[in-house]
Amino acid sequence: MALQDKYAELLQTATTLGVGNLASTEQAGVLHVSGTANSTADYDALWALYAKIDPNMASGDLMMNIDIKADAGAQLKVTTDSSNLNIRSTPSTEGEIVGKAAHDEIVTLVEKTDDSWWKIKTADGEEGYAFAQYLSPL
Looking at the structure, tell me whether residues 91 and 38 fall in a common domain. no
Looking at the structure, tell me whether residues 62 and 33 fall in a common domain. yes
* Residue 19: CATH number of its domain: 3.30.70
Nearest to 19 by CA among 27, 10, 28: 10
Q: Yes or no: say if 61 and 29 are a contact pair by the CB < 8 Å rule.
A: yes
Assign residue 112 a region: left if phi > 0, alpha if psi is -120 to 50, beta otherwise?
A: beta
Q: Yes or no: say if 97 and 87 are a contact pair by the CB < 8 Å rule.
A: yes
Domain end (from 68, 91, 116): 68
Q: What is the pTM of this model?
A: 0.64
Looking at the structure, tell me whether residues 19 and 56 fall in a common domain. yes
pLDDT, one tens digit per residue, over 41-72 is 788 899 999 999 999 888 899 999 988 887 88
**Which structural domain, as residue segments, surrounds residue 49?**
3-68
pLDDT, one tens digit per residue, over 102-129 is 999 999 999 987 778 999 999 999 999 9
Domain end (from 33, 50, 68): 68
Domain end (from 11, 39, 68): 68
